[in-house]
Chain A
Amino acid sequence: MSVFAPRADVRDEPLTTATGLPSHEDRSVRDRRRRNGGRRIGSHVFLVILAIYFIIPIWWLAVAATKDTSGLFGSPAFWFDDHFAFFENLAGLFTQQGGIYWRWLANSFLYAFAGGIGATILAILAGYGFAKYRFRGRGAVFTIILGSVMVPLTALVIPTFMLLSQYGIINTPWAVILPSLLSPFGVYLMRVYTQDAVPDEMLEAARIDGAGELRTFFQVALPLLKPAIVTVLLLSIVGTWNNFFLPLAVLTDETLLPVTVGLNRWTALSNAGAGGEQVWNLITTGAFVSVLPLILSFLFLQRYWQGGLSIGSIK
């Protein structure tokens, strides 16, 4: 069913698993035998060209973070300047507007983790409820949730802004965190995964042994859901971390902004020229520092997202 099924079920099938490697190797050995060298070189050239296209702006950012403003204008875009200014830029981030950049970065972490963890907890509970109980109205409610995946979340930003200002929590961290708890797609993923990964017989056995519903959930089901939990957590943290429209609309206090909105504000000011101060070197360095945490976590969590991003897409 999904590449993300629990290992035990997949072990003796020729299908791939989340890590994908065993069957991959088998097939490639066969491929190698029947394929002439030319095709493989062609494929590799194609991949390398694609990879260069996708990586070059990131390379540019890494290089640009080491330049001062005159270096940004004056030196070759894709190579280092003679003057290595990365640490000066970093220091500049601490002094510019009293180090507000680090405040923004901390806000981004707070919003992403609070929103992401909260959304994941709600998705685990709801996914389990939908997958393992047959309560009245389940089908109808789930269909509505599934349909809501197609509602563009940005269409909700303006009404959310108006509602939150009525409750008086506009311009507070809650205005970003609370709407971020909504993740219909996370619920869908958890339900699909729970259905496969948690056998009804195991729950039944736990109940016969006298475990209550909550204990069954925490001690039997939850451990089996670990891979899907990591994936949903990763997806919802990335989602909140990327968010731009919502914080742009609901936050005006500069000390509450996440790093995305903050850097965009610096860019707008620097471009406006006249009154605003030009802080190009701080923008590039700030952007570089802010993408490091996610890039690193994707590198280290590869085995989770590679299988996990496809849950639900495969029947």
Chain B
Amino acid sequence: MTTHTTLSAPPAPAAPSRRSHPEGGSKLERRRQRWGWLFVTPFLVVFALFLVFPLFYAFGMSLFTSTLATGTRFTGFDNYAKAFTDPLFLEGLGRVAAYALVMIPAQLIVALAAALVLDTLATRLSRLSRLLIFAPYAIPVVIGALMWSFLYSPRFGPSATLFDVVGLPAPDFLAADSVFGSLVNIVTWQWSGYYMVVIYAALRSIDPAVYEAARIDGANGWQTATRIKVPMISSSMVMVITFALIGTLQFFTEPVVLRNIAQGAIDAAYTPNMYAYSLAFSYSQFNYASAIAFSLGILVFAGSYVFLFLTRKQSGLK
């Protein structure tokens, strides 16, 4: 993702080897290069069938409207006009935007802080911590959300006991105004460890001689971290933020699972994906659901594209 450069730059190594091989003849050589198609075709078939085609299909579906009275007829962009004036869709969009604003920094700060600390330590305890922090990645999102919904639950959860000790009433994690924080917590718990491993690996690949130079210049640990380490791993940070952004905007699994016990706080249109799902499978409005899904897809694509464009200097993308 960060090495656009490798594909736009003509790969240098090949050129000399081709030139060193004049007796092969350019025609034969060109025929050999066609083998490339053979290698990429199986993937391209799957790509066409399950990505390109569904996208076009969704777009096509979204241009029609089907009602009992009139049957299915072509209505052009009516469904999109409806979607972008539909308060349920717009509220869902606003909600995932709010989640993105809170959740991405939360995950990033935890992951970055953990990775920076781990990078300065090489004890057995630090290696064990690294493994434990990463552990939630090995747990399916559904199971993670199920576990937290048990922990939040006033019936099973430990919160009543814990807050009783300090003499406070237990907070209701599933009330309408606190469920936002509860969901942020689940996602941060689930993904920070994965992002930490990515950032940590990037930190490990920095040449230690750089730190040596910084130390001679009198930089302390904090300055080394903020002025040298973080800028040097900016391309990994951009990748992590892009993944987090794409993931957050299609928020679905965690709120669906939590909805089992918090129906009052999480409605069926809580996120755009949940809205599209319930339109399609509860109300059989496949045309409108396609318009919602396609709009969301375009917005996510545009959002991550704009983000990558704005950060092209940091990520090395040209």
Contacts and interface: CB of A to CB of B under 8 A. Distances in A.
Interface of A: 2-3, 14-16, 20, 23-28, 30-31, 34-35, 39-40, 43-44, 46-48, 50-51, 53-55, 57-58, 60-61, 64, 72-73, 76-78, 121-123, 125-126, 128-130, 132-135, 138-139, 141-143, 145-163, 178-179, 181-182, 184-185, 187-188, 192, 195, 199-201, 204, 213, 217, 238, 241-242, 244-245, 248-249, 260-261, 263-264, 267-268, 271, 280, 283-284, 287, 290-291, 294-295, 297-299, 302, 305-307, 309-310, 312-315
26 contacts: A15-B207, A16-B204, A24-B122, A31-B122, A43-B121, A48-B125, A55-B132, A78-B158, A126-B39, A135-B33, A135-B35, A142-B7, A145-B47, A148-B47, A151-B51, A154-B273, A156-B55, A178-B49, A241-B140, A245-B253, A264-B146, A267-B146, A267-B260, A284-B150, A287-B146, A314-B236
Nearest to A15: B205
- Sorted from nearest, which 6 A-B pairs have the closest CB atoms? A133-B36, A129-B39, A310-B201, A28-B122, A155-B297, A77-B158
A148 B51 contact: yes
Given A14-B209, A156-B50, A260-B140, A313 B239 contact: yes
Interface in B275-318: 276-277, 280-281, 286, 289-290, 293-294, 296-297, 300-301, 304-305, 316
B54 A291 contact: no
A74 to B, nearest CB: 10
Given A152-B300, A260-B142, A313 B2 contact: yes
B300 A313 contact: no
A3 B201 contact: yes
- A interface SS class: helix
B305 A287 contact: no
A143 B7 contact: yes
B257 to A, nearest CB: 6
A33 to B, nearest CB: 11
Given A53-B189, A58-B139, A267-B146, A46 B117 contact: yes
Size class of the contact patch on chain B: 35 or more
Given A77-B157, A135-B36, A315-B3, A160 B139 contact: no
Contact of A139 (B7, B149, B204, B252): B7
Contact of A126 (B44, B120, B193, B252): B44
Contact of B40 (A129, A158, A200, A295): A129
Nearest to A17: B204
B168 to A, nearest CB: 17
A297 B281 CA distance: 36
Given A158-B289, A192-B3, A315-B235, A290 B140 contact: yes
A95 B186 CA distance: 32
